[in-house]
Structure 1
């Protein structure tokens, strides 16, 4: 009986690994499936606002984080398996969670805003102060920033999960959790198609 229980636990852990973020290149907050479901249920569903007045400059990003480092450099160091150089980071090893590719040159990486700045603008950030938008764009304590391949980030652009999801199947659970967590933390709305897509992705999570 004990042996069967141990085998079950091992199988369960292995199945979790298909849906959990890698040990590296992930934001610091990944809620449980139950927490994410509660957060998703609590989000306001409404049509997106207009892009009138939007500019990336209204979200000051990659600000100084002290010690000569800006937000980009902090995330590069946080998400690296290993790295050389302080700020700037000059080389290292990074696993791109979205597409499962490993990189050694930091110039091949983008720091993705899980919820893109333009998406945030359409979802409520247009009414924020510049200070609020700066805090959102440089949020190191939540689920909002991750180092990924430049190609995957640029493929995503400002799309929400109804039109773009990570190409690596095993990344969808974590991505949905991070998206939901970010929108919940920052009290951003979502549209109906976005919620449907997120629910489908969340259903793929083991826990």
Structure 2
């Protein structure tokens, strides 16, 4: 059998190496390089959301939204988001023990992961009032650990606690330059999970999206 050599062989070897890297060298819990984005159709998606009054908090408990899920190697979803959103991240095993984080909500920086909260874009209590009270705990756990949609974000502890369970008609990030992304992400999450919005919430989201250059693109 003839053995290939020269440029063609080099190209073939490179392709094979790349294929091996994609298939076998990236761990399954490797975090995305950046928080997922909902795309530029937020206005259309907002129009598709059901408007309803906020539901009751009767029966609500954070325990009905089990988090953070294990992601292997003694890690959990919190570690995944800290690693995804941080820079110069330091690990002990796969636990995040250091790095640099800049909170998009208020511009505050942190180097200690204990000073960083993982915010649920749509808060758990808001989800409960918006339809999640009818889900089972397994589905609520999927929501609370959703790393596919822009539902989880590493931010300053102070901004996360100031936000609480408020919707955009009640609280907005101090960093106005993040409003377009914030509204887009909020709508993306509610649209995917088929949660309702109040009339005040929808009006606030419309206002936030109105000035976004991409919001009305087809």
TM-score, normalised via structure 1 length: 0.85
For residues 142-157 of structure 1, the aligned pairs below 5 Å read 142-157=149-164
- Name which one, 1 or 2, has greater alpha-carbon Rg: 2
Write the deviation string for residues 51-86 of structure 1: whole angstroms up to 9, x where unpaired: 000000000011101222101000000101220014
For residues 21-170 of structure 1, the aligned pairs below 5 Å read 27-32=35-40, 35-86=41-92, 87-170=94-177
Alpha-carbon separation, structure 2, partners of 1:82 and 1:28: 20
What's the Cα RMSD here? 1.4
Q: Residues 106 and 25 from structure 1, CA distance in 2 versus in 1: closer, same or farther, beyond 3 angstroms?
A: farther
The alpha carbon displacement at 1:30 in A equals 3.2
Alpha-carbon separation, structure 1, partners of 2:155 and 2:174: 12
Which blocks of at least 5 consecutive residues in structure 2 are unaligned? 1-31
Alpha-carbon separation, structure 1, partners of 2:89 and 2:34: 16
SS of the equivalent of 1:85 reads: strand
Residue 198, structure 1, aligned to residue 199, structure 2: no
Structure showing greater relative contact order (alpha-carbon pairs closer than 8 Å, 6 or more residues apart):
1
Alpha-carbon separation, structure 2, partners of 1:165 and 1:150: 15
The alpha carbon displacement at 1:27 in A equals 2.4
TM-score, normalised via structure 2 length: 0.81
Alpha-carbon separation, structure 2, partners of 1:71 and 1:45: 31
Write the deviation string for residues 138-193 of structure 1: whole angstroms up to 9, x where unpaired: 00011100000000000000000001000011011100000000000000000000
